[in-house]
Structure 1
Amino acid sequence: MSAFSAIGSGEQDEEIDRDAFTPGIEPQPTWCPGCGDFGVLKALKGAMPEVGRSPDETLLVTGIGCSGKLSSYFDSYGMHSIHGRSLPVARAAKLANPDLEVIAAGGDGDGYGIGGNHFMHTARENHDMTYIVFNNEIFGLTKGQTSPTSPKGHKSKTQPHGSAKDPVRPLSMSLSAGASYIARTAAVNPRQATEIITEAIEHDGFAHIDFLTQCPTWNKDAKQYVPYTDVQQSEDYDFDVTDRREAAEIMHETEDKLHEGEVLTGRFYVDENRHSYGQEKRSTGEMPEEPLAERYFDEDYEWERSYDLLDAHR
């Protein structure tokens, strides 16, 4: 085990439980009563023991918004980034230390709006991390403005006459961009949420979870996202999660039905055969096999400069 405990983590045999991810001096959550964000925190804490990772082996990067507070209530390495920028921070950490379990989290405005470009390219490059998007269909922290996932006609302080725009389709957008694990769950389904987060973390590649989090304070239209239907448990939905075309069809139907009053949740697409970005870079020799982060603890390491590593343009 090196000076940085998240490197060489495979040597650790201690049993991890969910309480290990609760801060010693637990801060009082400032989420509103009934907020779906509590469901994300509970599911994430429940998933970590199943994954077998300790707080010292985990990094949680959050954006701005109500969802950004997640890193304050979850005991691990953490970074509260700026609006829409959790993914590039998480990507850099994972590339520098592949042994670190990296989880990024943000709201629908943070992830699908302000950080939409990072979402698209992180999925396209298939970085090995989990991205949980708290989708409550509004900007919650700034008091309920219309967000990218707000349904057409939704009235808010920024759209008093109703939004004239169709909402983004996060599942379809994720698939077309190139994510290799795509799922949707909801705070009202804690068992499924824990299972999906566990699978996403164990997946080798970019795992995107669209997590429906009700906002009873600022988005009363969305209510509690119930009743919900698990597409893996229902006889009405039979599709192959490894088939992109079938996944695209069920995603489109799922995104239509959400605004018609029916909530479909579950796994929608899984590709276990595609290499992650880090694996691709190491296979071509553009990244070293040993973690770059290890070099910070090696006093004898002779640092290279980029101009020593790259051939001059001819």
Structure 2
Amino acid sequence: MSAFNAIGQNREVDQNEFTPEIEPQATWCPGCGDFGVLKALKGAAAELGLDPEEILLVTGIGCSGKLSSYFESYGFHSIHGRSLPLARGAKLANPKLTVIAAGGDGDGYGIGGNHFMHTARENHDMTYIVFNNEIFGLTKGQTSPTSPKGHKSKTQLEGSAKDPLRPLSMSLSAGASYVARTAAVNPNQAKEIIVEAIQHDGFSHVDFLTQCPTWNKDAKQYVPYVDIQQSEEYDFDITDRREAGHAMYETESALYEGKVLTGRYYKDENRKDYQTEKLDRGSMPDQPIAEQYFDDDHEWKRSYDLLDAHK
């Protein structure tokens, strides 16, 4: 039994199925890197043979938040920095659902940084795409957690005195089991990485470099870029945390020196995801909550039925 009949159909899917009828044309600024995320996500979903009803896309506040309006699937437009806890709850309630969360660098690494850290630590089985344009775009150009040191903005008139956050390194140290960086200027790699991220069992973090031509004109357009898997200069084992950590640190430092490195950085296929850990400990029902609502024979437990467990 499935909570949604579409789950597990295994049919050939055209990416145009992910273009909604209500808002088919995205209204981001011309030249915005967010278009690249949308295109890569549509291509990845179609390549995986996913039906729109098999996917839940949860977004935060910001330019990136409109992704759920421009992508045909189940969607939830959450408040600032809160896409991950909603996505986690949905995945636990209906594990067969493909859950994707998305937000900007301010939304995900700043306002929602606490949720990002703990979702990675718990290794929830979902994909998190962070639109990283090094600026708060929707609110008209304030310094964000990834803005380079010295960057001048409406909130840092004399230039930011803070070092930028290192999202890849933070993700690895927090416990994410798949970490990658791609860019809107590299559409083929972007689609491939999102495919891998969705297929991965565990928390997949994709730092997606998206240029903002309106509010961050001083930023690079993230070209030329170097795919670390295609370059002989960067040879490391993505399953080795220590080697991955060194590669991430080099990548994050190079970005602010004018060199754009992208690719896969870390993958742990042996670690159990959060739901599996809970099931193994008997602290989660074998029948998902979403399916219980569709089961007329299910006996619902009330809080007073559980009181003996606390004696």
Q: Give the TM bin, normalised by the shorter chain.
A: over 0.9
Give me the whole-angstrom Cα distance separating, in 1, the residues matched to 2:303 and 2:38.
40
Letter paired with 1:235: E
Stretches of structure 2 lacking an aligned partner (at least 5 in a row)? none
| Alpha-carbon spacing, 1:285–1:310, altered in 2? closer, same or farther (3 Å) | farther
Give 4+ residue runs of structure 1 displaced > 4 Å after superposition.
Answer: none
Q: Is the 8 A contact 1:143 1:218 kept in 2?
A: yes
Paired residue for 2:87?
90
Paired residue for 1:183?
180
Letter paired with 2:114: N
| Alpha-carbon spacing, 1:239–1:99, altered in 2? closer, same or farther (3 Å) | same
| Alpha-carbon spacing, 1:184–1:143, altered in 2? closer, same or farther (3 Å) | same
CA RMSD of aligned residues (A): 1.3
Letter paired with 2:295: D
Give me the whole-angstrom Cα distance separating, in 2, the residues matched to 1:201 and 1:240.
21
Question: Equivalent pairs: percent with the same residue?
Answer: 80
Paired residue for 2:275?
278
| Alpha-carbon spacing, 1:31–1:83, altered in 2? closer, same or farther (3 Å) | same
Q: How does 1:287-298 map to 2 (within 5 A)?
A: 287-298=284-295
Give me the whole-angstrom Cα distance separating, in 1, the residues matched to 2:203 and 2:308.
31
Equivalent position SS for 1:145 = coil
Give me the whole-angstrom Cα distance separating, in 1, the residues matched to 2:90 and 2:267.
24
1:192 aligns to 2:159 (yes or no): no
Give 1:15 deviation, angstroms.
1.5
The superposition leaves residues 94-147 of structure 1 with CA deviations (integer Å, 9 ceiling, x where unpaired) of: 000000000000000000000000000000000000000000000000001000
Give me the whole-angstrom Cα distance separating, in 1, the residues matched to 2:141 and 2:88.
30
Paired residue for 1:36?
33
1:212 aligns to 2:209 (yes or no): yes
The superposition leaves residues 167-205 of structure 1 with CA deviations (integer Å, 9 ceiling, x where unpaired) of: 100000000000000000000000000000000000000
Q: Is the 8 A contact 1:39 1:188 kept in 2?
A: yes
Paired residue for 1:60?
57
Give me the whole-angstrom Cα distance separating, in 2, the residues matched to 1:274 and 1:308.
34
Give 1:296 deviation, angstroms.
1.2
Equivalent position SS for 1:133 = strand
2:229 is aligned, of 223, 232, 238, to 232
1:118 aligns to 2:130 (yes or no): no
The number of residue pairs the alignment matches comes to 311
Equivalent position SS for 1:285 = coil
The two structures have a TM-score, normalised by structure 2, of 0.97
Give 1:290 deviation, angstroms.
1.7
Q: Is the 8 A contact 1:183 1:266 kept in 2?
A: yes
1:130 aligns to 2:127 (yes or no): yes
Q: Is the 8 A contact 2:238 2:244 kept in 1?
A: yes
Give me the whole-angstrom Cα distance separating, in 1, the residues matched to 2:194 and 2:261.
17
Q: Is the 8 A contact 2:106 2:145 kept in 1?
A: yes
Q: Is the 8 A contact 1:124 1:179 kept in 2?
A: yes
Give 1:311 deviation, angstroms.
4.4
Give me the whole-angstrom Cα distance separating, in 2, the residues matched to 1:5 and 1:136.
38
Equivalent position SS for 1:211 = strand
2:305 is aligned, of 286, 301, 308, to 308
Give me the whole-angstrom Cα distance separating, in 2, the residues matched to 1:259 and 1:3.
46
Give me the whole-angstrom Cα distance separating, in 2, the residues matched to 1:5 and 1:140.
39
Give 1:53 deviation, angstroms.
1.2
Equivalent position SS for 1:134 = strand
Give me the whole-angstrom Cα distance separating, in 2, the residues matched to 1:308 and 1:273.
37
